[in-house]
Structure 1
């Protein structure tokens, strides 16, 4: 598992960690039951505070992506991928509605919008 932290991002470091681990779990890169690095090890590898990694792991645990066993570490929890995909699809639909509203406000045609989406998707 590789985590890349950007100091230029507006996203807090703990959120960058959380999002990258979630993405690895959802993509199958981190399968159910897989061990993830300890908070201390990850903090050391990323050269950040243990408090930051602790917060990221707490967020992941609260969201049901990982579970921890005292003295053994943290592991990828069983995921209901269909439920997660459905939630993400709902978020995408809401974001697309906002994009469509903004596109209509500036007179962007459906063809131009589709072309823009295609370009961005293929990058």
Structure 2
């Protein structure tokens, strides 16, 4: 067989394309198919009348990325924020004035956490609750 005939060159080109496509097909699949993490957004609100409490004391989420959004109603008259602690986590969102929203996004493993307002004196006054992550 002569390698300089059009049929031979087409066969060699086809073999080269197959060889190159086989090389690049195995590595990226493992990275793109591992999308089993969960993402949850939990909303809660500070008391609209200014009491040092949230509208709930119990939250739950799946393990993975968890975002807590705490609305501070315009009529509360008090600054607030949202924070989470437990299992080596201790993070707080930005303190916001009435009418604002404090947000904190965390990566959480299964377990029980405490969410609270980190403004001095607010947690001690009862502005806290339990977050169960499963």
TM-score by length of 2: 0.27
Kindly name which structure, 1 or 2, has the bigger radius of gyration based on alpha carbons: 2
TM-score by length of 1: 0.28
